[in-house]
Amino acid sequence: MTDQVSVLRGATLKELLAKAHDYVIGHGVKRESSRGSTFSVKALTLVWEHPSNSDENYWGWSRESADFYQQIFVDARPENRPERLAEKGDYLFPYTYAARSRFWDGGWGYIQAVLRATQKLGGDCETITSNQKAFFDYLAAAGEMVHLQVILAVWDWLGCQQMSAFLENPFQVDSFLARSRVDQLKRIINEVKDNPASRRAVTVSFVYPELDQRMKPLLGIPPYQFFQLLPGEAKEPLHSFHVHRSLDAGQGVLLDFMHDYTWLAEAAASVNRPIGTITVTAGDFHVYLPSEEAPAVDRIEKWLMDVTDGYQAGIGLPAKLLQKEKYLQNAQRIYSQLGDDQ
Longest dimension (CA), the chain: 64
Whether the per-residue pLDDT at 342 is higher than 50: the answer is no
pLDDT-wise least confident of 67-71, 121-125, 326-330:
121-125
Tens digits of per-residue pLDDT, 199-254?
999 999 999 999 999 999 989 999 999 999 999 999 999 999 999 999 988 788 99
Whether 197 contacts 215, CB under 8 Å: no
For residue 163, what pLDDT is reported? 96
> How far apart, in whole angstroms, are the C-alpha atoms of residue 274 and residue 320?
50
For residue 1, what pLDDT is reported? 44
Whether the per-residue pLDDT at 290 is higher than 50: the answer is yes
> How far apart, in whole angstroms, are the C-alpha atoms of residue 48 and residue 164?
50
Q: Show me where the domains of the chain are located.
A: 1-70+222-302, 81-220+309-342
φ, ψ at 288 (rounded to 5°): -80, 145
Using pLDDT thresholds of 50, 70 and 90, give the confidence band for residue 10: very high
CATH assignment of 1-70+222-302?
A: 3.30.572.10
Mean pLDDT of 300-319: 95
Distance of CA 206 to the CA centre of its chain: 7
Using pLDDT thresholds of 50, 70 and 90, give the confidence band for residue 81: very high
> How far apart, in whole angstroms, are the C-alpha atoms of residue 80 and residue 97?
9
Whether the per-residue pLDDT at 341 is higher than 90: the answer is no
pLDDT-wise least confident of 154-158, 285-289, 336-340:
336-340
For residue 293, what pLDDT is reported? 54
Using pLDDT thresholds of 50, 70 and 90, give the confidence band for residue 5: low
Using pLDDT thresholds of 50, 70 and 90, give the confidence band for residue 36: confident
For residue 9, what pLDDT is reported? 97
Determine the residue type at 29: V
Whether the per-residue pLDDT at 329 is higher than 70: the answer is yes
Q: Which residues of 238-249 are buried (b: 16+ CB within 10 A; e: fewer)?
A: bbbbbbbebbbb
For residue 31, what pLDDT is reported? 82
> How far apart, in whole angstroms, are the C-alpha atoms of residue 26 and residue 19?
10
* Contacting residues for 172 by C-beta, under 8 A, at least 6 apart: 165, 166
For residue 2, what pLDDT is reported? 46
Tens digits of per-residue pLDDT, 170-183?
999 999 999 999 99
Tens digits of per-residue pLDDT, 97-112?
999 999 999 999 999 9
Whether the per-residue pLDDT at 289 is higher than 80: the answer is no
pTM for the complete prediction? 0.93
Q: Tell me the pLDDT of the chain averaged across its residues.
A: 93
Tens digits of per-residue pLDDT, 116-141?
999 999 989 999 999 999 999 999 99
Using pLDDT thresholds of 50, 70 and 90, give the confidence band for residue 302: very high
